[in-house]
A and B are shown apart, each in its own frame.
Chain A
Amino acid sequence: MTATVELDEVGRRYGATWAVDAVSLALEPGVVGLLGPNGAGKTTLLRMIATALAPSRGRLSVFGLDPALPRQRTEIRRRLGYLPQEVGFPRGFTAFAFVDYVAVLKEWTVPGPRHAEVRRVLEAVNLGALGAKRIRALSGGQRRRLGLAQALLGSPALLVLDEPTAGLDPEQRAALRAVLAELGRTALVVLSTHQTDDVAALCERVVVLDGGRIRYDGGVTELVERAAGRVWLADQPDPAAPVSWRTGTGRYRNLAEQAPAEAELVEPSLEDAYLLLRGQSATPARAS
């Protein structure tokens, strides 16, 4: 069976730098989280999956179709919702008019059903009451949700979201998780984020990118388990720990192979596991 998205040794180069280098992935319906530091290649990878950017090498297929071929690319785009990292909005549009415009571009040509669909996605992101408001009058979080609304049009089979929770308050993030979790039951949702708790709450699978390469690809639980026995709470920072920081209780969370003095072993979080992975794979990260 063909995966929804398949990447085989896919790379993308900007000048002499490979932003994404030899990435191979097969993604099936569900919610997949993409983690990685700034400049890891997450946005470039998402843009390629969203057909906004062509790979410099390798083979990419979406729904079994080749995005390099115009007709097949169009067919992919019919089944795609995409939220770019930075959504620019047209001047002078209201929230409703913007989503309505995108809906026409997504081939919703009959006004009645189109307007109903626009209202549905605006309601889905809690902007139903703000449809008549000019976009320039919306807050940053509201604009982010508006960008998400256009991506949800037609309940696409593939949803590519670049940092969808950036700028959202905790309530909005929780609500967004509910929307995405529901979509992920039948569609493939690929999202990049810096919020490990979003990934922990939403995703069955996580891909960690660093330097354009995959450092981890697997279940969230498995990644967290890797950190088991290596997360310690202590009164002092551990100089030997690659990552250590002072928590709100005043105690230090040390991510280390060996137990620091008078330390208490605690359950790891996804963030612990991610930081440990980063500490192993790249330059040692020492949070403070």
Chain B
Amino acid sequence: MNGEPMLNEADKAKTGGGRAAAEKAGGRQPVHHPAVEQILDYTAGNLPEPSALAIACHLSFCRSCRRQMSLFEAAAGLLLENRDGAEISAGLRDRTLEMLDIPDAVNDDAPAARVAPDVPPPLALFGIDALSAVPWMPIWPGIGYHGLDVQGGRAALIRLKPGKTMPRHTHTGQEFTLVLQGGYASCGQTFHPGDLEACDEETDHAPGALAGEDCIAMIATESPLVLTGPVSRWFNPVFRF
């Protein structure tokens, strides 16, 4: 879950391995990735909305995870070809042929929304088009909060002033944190834009923003947070995001 995704030696030779090379090549690549099985769950379309959003945003930063995704898709496409199909009703083909030239016969996917370069495109689906325009709600000195309207869990953007620490909390299920701006330290590791931290029920952590600029991160969880620190009785009512 942390550190390099599984790269074999040949891949490493080609990419130069991780962050240093990516930086040399002009763009920093994330160093903290979702686990392979989470990429499979995502690619097959089996995740609840909050986790899918977190992984989709990470993918928009991460070449290496996009490659894993396309490998799984390629394998699925090939496996699909070898499976038995289901019989198609008489007439479906002709009806489809007749519809080919009707412009509105099928709703095309919405054209890609325009977003600022600091926003991963999937966030546009949830009304975020620039980090500078997020309507922050102050929930604690130095901490801003903006809930995202997701089904099947909770997701929110959090803004921490430099050096500010998130309230200590645990989770009853999977929680993803994806850095969008600045960085934070958690459990002895640092996280920068594009990095995805995956925590489960065993983690009791209190991420602290690094010095420098504000840290903005997206948090996605399939269940509510459980606050464990002394401020929890203040936070729990507001923080049920």
Are A and B subunits of one complex?
A: no
**Interface residue ranges, B against A (CB under 8 Å):** none
**Interface residue ranges, A against B (CB under 8 Å):** none
